[in-house]
Structure 1
Amino acid sequence: MKITQVEAIPFAIPYRKPLRFASGEVHTAEHVLVRVHTDDGIVGVAEAPPRPFTYGETQASIVAVLEQLFAPQVVGLSLLEREELHARLGRTVGNPVAKAALDMAVWDALGRTLDVGVTELLGGYTDRMRVCHMLGFDEPAAMVDEAQRMRDTHGITTFKVKVGRRPVALDTAVVRALRENLGEDVELYVDGNRGWTASESARAMREMADLGLLFAEELCPADDVLGRRWLVSQVDVPFIADESAVTAADVTREVLGGSATAISIKVARTGFTHSQRVHHLAEGLGLEVVLGNQIDGQLGSLCSVAFGAAFRLTSRRAGELSNFLDLSDDLLAEPLEISDGELVIRPGAGLGAELDPGKLAHYRQDQ
C-alpha cells in the first residue's frame, strides 16, 4: 500500500454557459486530474478545480506544486500514513485545492485496496443526498427558467442563488421572481461571495424577509470584522461561513467571534481528511452544515456526495452537487445522473469512479 507515483494531469472542458458570481466567472473547467499510484498496482483518482479569485491557485500552480513539492514528499508513504502525509504537505502554506485532491486520491486508492467504498470508510450513514443547484448571475426570467428546468428534468427543489451585485435591487428582484414562480415548496438561499457591504447586505435581507430564505452565505467581506458581526446580529436566518472558514481553526474563529452561525464544507478545498475534522467540530458546536460546490466536474461531485452521504449532519441538507450539468462533457466513463432530486454514490471500491481514457486523451492539456 505504498505510494509510488503522483500524477497531475491538466485538462480543460468548456461550460455550456458561463457561471457568473460576485467574485468572478467561469467559462471553462480548467481543472487537474490527480492520480495516486501504489506498489500494488492500485490507482486512486480525484479532481482539483482551481479558483484563483478565491484561493489564489491556478491550473498551472496546482500541477507545479504537486509535481515539484508534494509528490517527492509523499512517495514511499503508506496509504494509511495520512497524518504523516498531511504533516509533510503542511510544510507548504496555502495550496488548499492541490492538497485536497491529493488527499482524496489517497482515500480512493485506500478504498480500492481494501475493496471498500470511501463513504463506508468515512462513516457510511447513507448512500445518497438531496441535490441543491447553484444559479449564477443572469436576468430574472433566465434564472427562473433554469430553476424550472432543473426541477422538471432532475427533480431538484433546492436552489442557491448567487447575489452580491450592485445595485442590490438586481438580486432581490431575482430572488423574489424565483419565489413567486417556483412556489413555497422550493428551498432558496443566497450567496453573496463577499460582494456587498454589511449595510447593503442588511438592507437586502430586510427586502427579502418575506421570501422564506433558508440561509445567507458570505454576503460581505470576511475581513470586515465588526461589520460582519453586526450583520449576523441583524439576520434572522443561519449565516454560512464559506471562503472565510476553510479550516477547523477558521470555523472556530468565525463562530466564536460571532461572524457566522453555520458553515459550508467543500471537499475540493479540504479533502476528506480535513473535511472530516471540520464536520466533527461543527457537530460538536451544534452548527448547521451545507455541502458546498467548487463548480466541480463529475469526479469532483462524486467526491462530494461520497463525503456528504457518510455523515448524518452533512446529508441532512441538500448538497450543492449539480453544477457538472453545466459542463459540455466530462471524464467519467459512466456519467452521473440526478434523479428525483437525489445523487447516489457509486457502488464499488473507493469512489467507484472509472475514467474514459479517450475523453481524458482528448481534453488533457499536457500532450
Structure 2
Amino acid sequence: MKIERIEAIPYSIPYTKPLKFASGQVTEADHVLLRVHTDEGIVGTADTPPRPYTYGETQDSIVAVVNKIFAPAVIGLDPLDREKIHQALGRTIHNQTAKGGLDIALWDIIGQAAGMPVSQLLGGYTDSMQVSHMLGFQPAQKLLEEALQFRSDYGINTFKLKVGRRPLSLDIEACHVLREGLGEDADIYLDANRGWTANEALEVLRRTEGLGLSLLEEPCDAKEAMSRRRLVDKSPIPIVGDESVPTAGDVSRELLSGGCNAICIKTARSGFTEATQILGLCTGLGVDVTMGNQIDTQVGTIATVTFGAAHEASSRRAGELSNFLDMSDDLLAEPIVIKDGSISVRQMPGVGAAIDEAKLAHYRQDNK
C-alpha cells in the first residue's frame, strides 16, 4: 500500500457565539480537513485547527505546507512506514497541527487496513471518556447558568474555567460563584492561557484557597522561567503545561526545569505518535496528564477520544471534548453523542471520522 495523494481542504463553519480566552477569541472554525489517499482506495481523515496567536499556523499556511512540502516528501511511501514519514516531516520545523493531522490520518489508514478501531491498536484501555466542558469569559452568573445547563443536558460535571483576566477579581469571583452553585462534587479547574504573571497566579491561588480547584493550566508565559518554578513550588495544586509543551522535547524541558508538574496532551498538535511519546514521558515520571482541546470540531474530538480512551493514564481525568457544541454545524456524518457525561469510542475500523460530503462541499473555501 502506498500514499497516492493528499488533500488539504480549507473550510469554515461559524460558532454560535464567540469563544473568548486570554490569548484571543474565535468566531469561526477556519480549519483544514486532511485526507490521505492510498493506492488501495483507503482514505485517512483528520482535522487541523489553526491557532495563529498560539502556534503561528494559519489556514493558508497549513494548506501551503501540506501541498508544497509535506505531500511531495511522503507520496509514494507506505503508510505503515511512519518513522520514515515522520523523519520527512521533521525536516520542517514547527507546523505542529499540520504534522499532527497527517499522523492521525495515517493511523486512520492503518486501522482501516487492519480492520480494527485505532483506539484498540493504541492500547484499548476503555471504550469511552468522561467530558469536561470549557467555560469562557462571561460574567460569573452567566458562567454558572451555562455550567448548570450542561450538567442538566449532558450529565457533565467537570468544568474548565478560562481565566487570565484583569482585574483578577473577575476570575476570583467566578471561581467562588461556580463552586457555590455547582456544589462540592463538581470538578473545577482553571486555564489562564498565559494571561497572568506567575505572581498574579499565586495571588489568585491564595484568594481561591479552600474552593477545591483541581488544576491550574498555563498561568503565565514559559519565559518566566524562575517565577514559574516558584509558582510550581508554592502551588497546592498541579500546574499544567499546555502551550509551552507542544512537543515531547518541550515536555522534557518544562518538567525537568520545574516549569510545570502536569501536562496537557492535544492530539491536534501531536498526532497519536508523538502523543504516545509524551504520555510515556509523563507516566515514567509520575506526572498527571489531561486530554486538551484545540477548540476542535467533532472530527478532532473523535481523535481525542480515540487516543484518550486507549490508555489508563490519559483516561483518568475528564477530557475537554465539548467545544463542538458551540459550532453551528459540523462535518461528521454520524454526529457525536454525549450521554451521561461521556463520549464513546467509535467501534469501527480506523478512527471513525466519516465525513458528510454535502456539508464539506457547502463549507469548503477552495471552490468558491
Query: What TM-score, normalized by structure 2, do the two folds share?
Result: 0.99
Give the aligned residue type for 2:335: P
Q: Report the CA distance between 1:299 and its aligned residue.
A: 0.3
Instruction: Using the TM superposition, give the Cα deviation of residue 210 of structure 1 relative to its aligned residue in structure 2, in angstroms.
Output: 1.2
Higher mean C-alpha deviation, range 306-315 or range 243-252: 243-252
- Letter aligned with residue 11 of structure 1: Y
In 1, Cα distance between equivalents of 2:139 and 2:28: 21
How big is the shift at 1:145? 1.0
Deviation at 1:355, TM superposition (A): 0.9
Cα distance per residue 1:228-272 (max 9 Å; x no partner): 111111211011011111212111111111111100000000000
Kindly provide the CA deviation profile for residues 266-323 of structure 1, in whole angstroms up to 9, marking residues without a partner as x: 0000000100100111110100000000000000000000000000000011000111
Match of 1:175 in 2: 175
Question: Following TM superposition, by how much is the alpha carbon of 1:97 offset from its aligned partner in structure 2, in angstroms?
Answer: 0.5
Superposition RMSD on alpha carbons, in Å?
0.7
Aligned to 1:187: 187
1:261 equivalent in structure 2: 261
Aligned equivalents of 1:251 and 1:357: distance in 2?
Answer: 38
Alignment partner, residue 128 of structure 1:
128
Q: Which amino acid aligns with 1:287?
A: V
Rounded Cα–Cα distance in structure 2 between residues aligned with 1:188 and 1:214: 6
Distance, in Å, in 2 between the alignment partners of 1:365 and 1:247 is 30
Q: What residue number does 1:94 align with?
A: 94
In the aligned structure 2, how far is the partner of 1:226 from the partner of 1:136?
Answer: 29
Residue 285 (structure 2) pairs with residue 285 (structure 1): yes
Aligned to 1:245: 245
Which residue identity lines up with residue 205 of structure 2 in the other structure?
M
Query: Residue 136 of structure 1: CA displacement?
Result: 0.8
Pair 1:148-2:148 in alignment: yes
Corresponding letter in the other structure for 1:150: F
How far is 1:192 from its partner?
0.5
Give percent identity, aligned residues only. Answer: 55
Determine the structure 2 residue equivalent to 1:349. 349
User: Which residue matches 1:275?
Assistant: 275
How many residues are matched?
Answer: 367
Separation (CA, whole Å) in 1 of partners of 2:85 and 2:213: 41
Amino acid at match of 2:144: V
Aligned to 2:300: 300
* Unmatched 5+ stretches in structure 1: none
Relative to the length of structure 1, the TM-score reads 0.99
Distance across 1 between alignment mates of 2:22 and 2:352: 35
Matches of 1:98 and 1:108, distance apart in 2? 15
For 1:97 and 1:138, locate their aligned partners in 2 and report how far apart those are by CA, in whole Å.
29
- 1:187-226 to structure 2, matched below 5 A, reads 187-226=187-226
Q: What's the counterpart of residue 40 of structure 1? A: 40
Q: CA deviation at 1:352?
A: 1.5
**Which residue matches 1:12?**
12
Counterpart of 2:185, as a letter, is D
After TM superposition, give the deviation of residue 56 of structure 1 in Å: 0.1
Q: Post-superposition shift, 1:359?
A: 0.4
Q: Report deviation, 1:142.
A: 1.1
> Which stretches in structure 2 are left out of the alignment for 5+ residues?
none
- Deviation, 1:199, is 1.1
Q: Aligned partners of 1:77, 1:136: CA distance in 2, in Å?
A: 43
